[in-house]
Amino acid sequence: MPLSFPTFYTLSGVKSFVSRHYEISCISEIKTIVTKPSYFKERRQAMKTSSAINCFFFALLSIIIVALILPVHAAEKKKFTLQTKVIANISRTTVYLEDKPKHELTQTVSLRTLTSSNPDFNNLDVRNYGQSDSVAGTGSHRGYSFYYHKNGDKAFTKWKGTHKTTLKEDKSWETNAGGNIEFVDGTGMFDKIKGGGTYTCYFTAKGGGCEAEVEAEY
């Protein structure tokens, strides 16, 4: 349908209005509207094409901006060692079973210090929760260790293995242990940490500790 204006919307009147409120270049656009009935159909098609192009470039620009602004934190695999030393035993509970001589179920909570070849794990406090099933000091064990980092972040591991206690001629004893350790989770920079490795431990009546070789991704 041809476009028609009310009689009071003359071209000169519109030109005067546009001159006051818009760029002069808009006047030619208005002339086209008045003289070309198919203007709006062509204009809609052009706007669709222009809108699609604009949306594409806007999306592309958004991706580039996000990539430049947001910090990139790609998980990195690291190999390192962990060494713990017992500094205090908080609790120890033992249940003696009657099926075998010297059959014991033991649950312990201890505090340890941690040193590491990895600066992220060096000089930390560790709380250790362990359970063991032993006959005359030899058997299996499992538990969890919580690593408390200086900035407030935490890393959690679980472990299980076997141990053997040997009595010496001087009636002293020593226990050697070993097994597998696994990172199960954490907070802060250690959120969703994963990995693990193997460990060995050595204990006597004077104390002891453990050493592990691990690979972790965080």
- Give dist(CA 36, CA 190) in Å, integer: 67
Q: Is the pLDDT of residue 71 over 60?
A: no
Residues near 132 by Cβ (< 8 Å), separated by ≥ 6? 104, 105, 106, 108, 139, 140, 141, 163
Which of these, 218, 110, 102, lies nearest to 155 by C-alpha position?
A: 218
Which of these, 206, 214, 144, lies nearest to 175 by C-alpha position?
A: 206
26-35 and 11-21 helices, crossing angle to 10° = 150
User: pLDDT digits over 18-43, tens only?
Assistant: 345 444 444 455 455 546 556 556 65
**Average pLDDT, stretch 149-155?**
96
**Average pLDDT, stretch 90-115?**
97
Backbone angles phi, psi at 208, to 5 degrees: 165, -170
Place of tokens 């602004």: 69
The DSSP secondary structure of 115-173, one letter per residue, reads: EESSGGGSSEEEEEEEEEEEETTEEEEEEEEEEE-TTS-EEEEEEEEEEEEEE-TTS-E
Which of these, 176, 217, 169, lies nearest to 195 by C-alpha position?
A: 217
Which of these, 197, 91, 82, lies nearest to 147 by C-alpha position?
A: 82
Q: Is the pLDDT of residue 6 over 60?
A: no
Q: Say which DSSP state 120 is in.
A: G
Lowest mean pLDDT among 28-37, 55-64, 129-138, 167-176: 28-37
- Give dist(CA 99, CA 217) in Å, integer: 44
Task: Name the percent of the chain lying above pLDDT 70.
Answer: 66
Confidence of residue 75 (pLDDT cuts 50, 70, 90): confident
pLDDT at 49 (0 to 100): 57
CB atoms within 10 A of CB 150: 10
Chain centre distance of CA 110: 28
Which one is predicted more confidently, 100 or 55? Answer: 100
Residues near 122 by Cβ (< 8 Å), separated by ≥ 6? 114, 115, 116
Domains, the chain, with CATH or none: 11-69 (no CATH), 77-217 (2.40.350.10)
**Average pLDDT, stretch 72-98?**
91
Q: Which helix (H) or strand (E) holds 139?
A: strand 138-148
3-class SS at 68? helix
Q: Say which DSSP state 66 is in.
A: H
Lowest mean pLDDT among 26-40, 78-92, 134-148, 190-204: 26-40
Rg (CA), the chain: 37
Average pLDDT of the chain is 82
